[in-house]
Chains A and B, each alone.
Chain A
Amino acid sequence: MTSLLSIDRLTIGHRGHALLSDATCALEAGQMAALIGLNGSGKSTLLRALAGLHPLMQGRVLLEGKDLGGHARRDRAQRLSFVLSGRPRIGLMDVRALVAMGRQPWTGAFGGLGASDQRQVEEALERTGLKPLADRQFDSLSDGEAQKAMIALAIAQDTPVILLDEPTAHLDVLNRVEVLRLLRGIARDQQRCVLLSTHDLSTALDLCDRVLLLHQGALWCGSPHEARSSGRLAAAFQQEGLLFDPVAGILRPME
């Protein structure tokens, strides 16, 4: 079986300076994976590289077993969606119209929506609980609602792989858990592969099937259990004056 998304001896960086070297990892359908690491460790750069938005220095990214660059643009967009960090500034667009943009890789030359496209949009709204807000303007939504709308857009895009850059940043604890549950549900029920970056260690370790740990230019992949027990998390996050609690998956200030 070929993995949905895999990287093979990948090196990426900025202006010749490698941020991540020789990384190898594979992600399967039905899994939600968390990409964790300190600020500046290269989480966003890795996600952008996986989406084809950042050049590779060495190695390969394989989408459904085929080189990412070998997919035609439209084919790639039908297989991989990406929810960027932060909320885009979009005026004069209601939530339904925004989510419908997710159908772009599937529609014709002028982007007209067929019956099945409209059904997918309604399903995405339903799934994210945005149905009651479908006629509201996107820029009038709260941060949590806006994040869900961007996730609904990715769901409507109907791709086997969904990447998300810090989907839980700026959200309160309730919305954080809700968004992660929603994403895990999508991964499990629809056999998609969801990869998200996050700073929220404890929820990520509780809810994700896989952990991708970025630390000092190297990528480690494994199960949350391995991540906790092997001491890798502790090594990555333990700093002077901070103690990593491997059971809770959180950092505590040292007494």
Chain B
Amino acid sequence: MRARTTGILLLLGLMVPALLLLELAWGSTAVPFPEALADLVHGSRGGGISIVRDLRLPQALTAIIAGAGLAAGGLLMQTVFRNPLAGPSILGVSSGAGLGVALVMLAFPLWSPLRLPADLALLAAALAGALGTLMVVMAADRRVGHPATLLIVGLLLGYLCSALVSVLEAAGTATAVHGFVLWGMGSFAGVGMDRVPWLAVPVVVGLVLALAAIKPLNALLLGEAYAHTMGVDAVLVRRALLWCTGVMAGAITAFCGPIAFIGLVTPHLARALLRTSHHGLLLPATILLGASLAMACDLIARIGIAGTVLPLNAVTSLLGVPVVAWVLFAGKRWSSAA
């Protein structure tokens, strides 16, 4: 490994704890680093809610998990579809998960006889929505194959899901709709410490499976036929990796809302930094960078403008759009992911 590559990976690795410390210390109530650390270890001295341990720590952990999962999911989708513009928020996966969430949040009375724990219902519905849209996209990819057509299919699925969501919104109660709209803005703050495992388990499983698939992912860079001649069961691997993506993106969307652009943009930044498409380097770098980007966006949203907290999706989109424009127009060299 060249010195430059090692240096970049090391830097990305250090950015995660650095931003984590900032997340713990920085916010509307300033807590100096030493106090923040003491708070983290001992909890609040007054016995009430500890800002650092009970609010900022779960928010930071959520940002790390969500950022890592979305970024890895984006890279998997870009490689599996051989399409540089693939990503969970582009191909309708987030919308599908959103539809699932809407069914739970807005049509709740219909579900209440089932007596499912709310988190489980939310998670299951979002996963079903995410995987459902992915199956449709996969089937469309088999039939049409053309990268641009695939993006249009994703767009159509997105429209379909939001149409169904607005039907649910029209029928829902004002409180439920308000809650759903807030969810739609995206936030890492809504996941308390007790719910972090609900998010962490599916994402960590997805990340581990993705890391285990580095070798077949590289083979897929050459296309499905070449992967086959290398001994890879390309059909099975592509399907398994999409399931991984669906599980990660579904869980993240369920708890954090449809976070835009992190999944699409992070792999491109990692490629531009490392100048490789080898997944042995690219996947770890994308995971680290995704975690860092999510925390950075969360910090920017938290600092806000003139005392107002910004919607997270506004921040990720404001940062993401220029990168996508750069991929489309200037960054041709980096964009040919496949």
Q: Residues on A close to B: CB < 8 A?
A: 48, 51-53, 73-74, 76-78, 80-82, 84, 88-93, 97, 101-102, 104-105, 107, 109-111, 139, 157
Q: Are A90 and B338 in contact (CB under 8 A)?
A: yes
Q: Which residues of A sit under 8 angstroms from B221, Cβ to Cβ?
A: 90, 93, 101
Q: Which residues of A sit under 8 angstroms from B229, Cβ to Cβ?
A: 51, 53, 77, 80-82
Q: Which residues of A sit under 8 angstroms from B334, Cβ to Cβ?
A: 91-92
Binds A, one of B6-14, B54-62, B276-284: B276-284
Q: Are A107 and B215 in contact (CB under 8 A)?
A: yes
Of the candidates B231, B278, B338, which one forms a contact with A104 in the assembled complex, judged by CB atoms under 8 Å apart? B231
Q: Within B210-244, which residues are at the interface with A (CB < 8 Å)? A: 212, 214-215, 218-219, 221-223, 225-226, 228-233
Q: Which residues of B sit under 8 angstroms from A84, Cβ to Cβ?
A: 223, 225-226
Q: Residues on B close to A: CB < 8 A?
A: 82, 212, 214-215, 218-219, 221-223, 225-226, 228-233, 271, 275-278, 280, 333-338
Given A82-B226, A90-B277, A111-B215, 4 more pairs with CB closer than 8 A: A89-B82, A92-B276, A92-B336, A93-B221
21 contacts between A and B (CB under 8 A): A51-B228, A53-B225, A73-B232, A77-B229, A77-B231, A81-B229, A82-B226, A84-B225, A88-B222, A88-B226, A89-B82, A89-B336, A91-B334, A92-B271, A92-B275, A93-B278, A101-B219, A101-B230, A104-B219, A109-B215, A157-B230
The CA of A88 and the CA of B338, in the complex, are separated in Å by 9
Q: Are B231 and A90 in contact (CB under 8 A)?
A: no
Q: Which residue of B lies closest to A48 (CB)?
A: B225
Q: Which residues of B sit under 8 angstroms from A101, Cβ to Cβ?
A: 218-219, 221-222, 230
Q: Which residue of A lies closest to B275 (CB)?
A: A92
Query: Which of A78, A91, A93 gathers most chain B CB within 10 Å?
Result: A91
Query: Which of B218, B219, B229, B230 gathers most chain A CB within 10 Å?
Result: B229
Once A93-B278, A110-B214, A110-B280 are accepted as A-B contacts, the answer to whether A104 and B230 lie under 8 Å apart by CB is yes
Q: Which residues of A sit under 8 angstroms from B228, Cβ to Cβ?
A: 51-53
Q: Are A111 and B336 in contact (CB under 8 A)?
A: no
Q: Which residues of B sit under 8 angstroms from A139, Cβ to Cβ?
A: 336
Once A89-B338, A91-B335, A110-B215 are accepted as A-B contacts, the answer to whether A97 and B278 lie under 8 Å apart by CB is yes
Q: Are A88 and B336 in contact (CB under 8 A)?
A: no
Q: Which residue of B lies closest to A104 (CB)?
A: B230
B266 to chain A, nearest CB (A): 15
Q: Which residue of B lies closest to A108 (CB)?
A: B215
Q: Which residues of A sit under 8 angstroms from B280, Cβ to Cβ?
A: 110-111
Q: Which residue of A lies closest to B211 (CB)?
A: A110
Q: Are A90 and B230 in contact (CB under 8 A)?
A: no
The CA of A126 and the CA of B86, in the complex, are separated in Å by 37
Q: Which residues of B sit under 8 angstroms from A90, Cβ to Cβ?
A: 221-222, 277, 336, 338
A236 to chain B, nearest CB (A): 28
List 7 tightest A-B contacts by C-beta distance, closest first: A91-B336, A77-B231, A111-B215, A92-B277, A104-B230, A74-B231, A73-B231
Q: Are A77 and B336 in contact (CB under 8 A)?
A: no
A7 to chain B, nearest CB (A): 18
B75 to chain A, nearest CB (A): 13
A137 to chain B, nearest CB (A): 8
Of the candidates A53, A80, A93, A104, which one forms a contact with B276 in the assembled complex, judged by CB atoms under 8 Å apart? A93
Q: Which residue of B lies closest to A76 (CB)?
A: B231
Q: Which residues of B sit under 8 angstroms from A110, Cβ to Cβ?
A: 214-215, 280
Q: Which residues of B sit under 8 angstroms from A51, Cβ to Cβ?
A: 228-229
Once A84-B225, A109-B215 are accepted as A-B contacts, the answer to whether A91 and B337 lie under 8 Å apart by CB is yes
Q: Are A105 and B231 in contact (CB under 8 A)?
A: yes
The CA of A33 and the CA of B221, in the complex, are separated in Å by 30
Q: Which residue of B lies closest to A112 (CB)?
A: B280
The CA of A74 and the CA of B336, in the complex, are separated in Å by 28
The CA of A190 and the CA of B54, in the complex, are separated in Å by 68
Q: Which residues of B sit under 8 angstroms from A89, Cβ to Cβ?
A: 82, 336, 338
Q: Which residues of A sit under 8 angstroms from B219, Cβ to Cβ?
A: 101, 104
Q: Are B214 and A111 in contact (CB under 8 A)?
A: yes
Q: Which residues of B sit under 8 angstroms from A52, Cβ to Cβ?
A: 228
